Chains A and B, each alone.
Chain A
Amino acid sequence: MTDLIFTVLFIEAFLLPALIGGGIALGMGIIIMIAARVFFVPVDEKMKKLVNILPGINCGACGYSGCEEYANALRNGETDDAGKCPVGGAATASELAEFLGLEIPDFTPQAAHVFCHGTLQHTSKRFDYSGTVSCAAAHGLFSGPNSCTYGCLGFGDCAQACPYDAIYMADGIAHVDSLKCTACGLCVKTCPKLLIEIIPKHLNTYTVKCKNKWPGAQTRKNCSIGCIGCRMCYKTCRFDAISMDGPLAVIDQEKCTRCGECLDVCPTGTIHNGLMLAPDAENHPRSSGLHLWVDPKIRRKQAETQKNAAKHDE
């Protein structure tokens, strides 16, 4: 009798719950197994290899939302341009082209460039800023403490965004170490002043390192190295490479022949030759170029003494 009660209890208390629980688990397991078969998505080997070739930082500089998207577009034939990844550079471009059997694109290396050199020596502060150390925050407070409201704030939002440690802060503005820069464009998106642009990586690049849209007099008052819109370079350029965007000269990098004539005529020294290098590079910070920038006053003096010397010789 006790045996019977015990057996019934055993079935009621242990066996039934175990069976039901186990049954549901088994059912779910079988359904998952079937689902895995029915909804099986084959992993594409070609896709895997393409993703492996790409650098995988998902910066979006290629115009797709990430490396995988670009690989997908290449695989599906939506694009046949293998040179869209500036981060991987020429090596990645040729590897991709080789793998897909495409033409090897002529790849121009590019680098980010900060279009401002209003360092602490050239600008002043309108007020003392003691808030959060962030360009975005400082920009929100009366466009930041700098006398030039178009200029670099120097709090280093771009340096923080850079995954390659290529941006460093010196003299109150940001500098890009163009050797480390891969032109991924993450810094371009973070700058609240929109000062950073991606330009061809050429050690003899000429740029108007200024973005201010003030009239000349106001620029002069606030920054001693800003573009005053005098149009001297615009008139000098023989290749139509310089255009005026209001009171600001802009050099078209594609048309520029790097002759350097504009640099000589610029009265404020806003035009800059060469890309920036690391702080430990020679003649830091504005020295990478072939054509070194000299203060216009000194340059004029040098020219005069040379002329005088020539006259003297006669």
Chain B
Amino acid sequence: MKEFLIILFSAILVNNFVLTRFLGLCPFLGVSKNVKTAMGMSYAVIFVMILSTVITWPIFNYILYPQDLAYMQTVIFILVIASLVQITEMFLKKLIPPLYSSLGIFLPLITTNCAILGLTILNIDEGYSFIESIVHAIGAGVGFMLALFLFSGIRAKLDYADVPRMMKGLPIALVSASLIAIAFYGFKDLIEQLFG
């Protein structure tokens, strides 16, 4: 149980995918203009992260690794994740239309996102078991959601701030993103303090 908690919290706070590992910066800057779309995107990311972990972990450990084909993981993972999201999209469109209309636009956006691929490869590199990988996926997704939620709130405030002309738009967004990343650096020793 303790290991699961360590994995979960370190994925959310210490090794936050966006702010510490710098993965998935494209949606972080792209869909953080308001809180509503940011949350929609985050739900989709959590969903796809868990789904892709469930699929890629067995593929690696039961097909690729025994055949000594670990070097094929990038190609195979991208292929599998992309087609999986495609199927999920069809599934949702047919059976759960409300969920499709809220997640629908975001699903294709994240199929080949580096945060998703990074997560599946990290699961393998860290040598997590199947359950641990899923916990890690949940943590990574929630961490992504936390970062996106904080950042979209700050960007909504930024709209009303008197920003110098040269800093308007993306520059000030990147500066504030870096400041949040510094804030997250403060969590560095959290896990050791809590569970150490």
Contacts and interface: CB of A to CB of B under 8 A. Distances in A.
Whether chains A and B associate is: yes
Interface of A: 16-17, 20-21, 24-25, 28-29, 31-32, 35-36, 38-41, 131-132, 134, 136-137, 140
B39 interface: no
Interface residues of B, number: 22
18 contacts: A16-B69, A20-B63, A20-B69, A20-B72, A21-B72, A21-B75, A21-B79, A28-B79, A28-B83, A31-B87, A32-B86, A39-B91, A39-B93, A41-B93, A132-B160, A132-B161, A136-B160, A140-B160
Contacts, number: 53
B90 A36 contact: yes
Contacts of B67: 16-17, 20
B117 to A, nearest CB: 16
Contact of A132 (B72, B79, B162): B162
Interface of B: 59, 63-64, 67, 69, 72, 75-76, 79-80, 83-84, 86-87, 90-91, 93-95, 160-162
B94 A21 contact: no
Contacts of B80: 24, 28
Contacts of B95: 39
A65 to B, nearest CB: 10
What DSSP secondary structure best describes chain B's contact surface?
helix
B69 A39 contact: no
Contacts of A136: 160
Given A31-B87, A32-B86, A136-B160, A24 B79 contact: yes
5 residue pairs, one from A and one from B, having the closest CB atoms: A39-B94, A28-B83, A39-B90, A137-B160, A35-B87
Contacts of A140: 160
Contacts of A132: 160-162
B164 to A, nearest CB: 12
Contacts of B75: 21
B94 A17 contact: no
A31 B85 CA distance: 12
A41 B94 contact: yes
A3 B22 CA distance: 49
Nearest to A137: B160
Contacts of A40: 94
A254 B91 CA distance: 50
Nearest to B82: A28
Contact of A24 (B76, B86, B160, B162): B76
B103 to A, nearest CB: 15
A131 B162 contact: yes
Given A24-B63, A134-B160, 16 more contacts: A20-B67, A20-B69, A21-B72, A21-B76, A24-B76, A24-B79, A28-B83, A31-B83, A32-B87, A36-B90, A39-B93, A41-B94, A131-B162, A132-B161, A136-B160, A140-B160
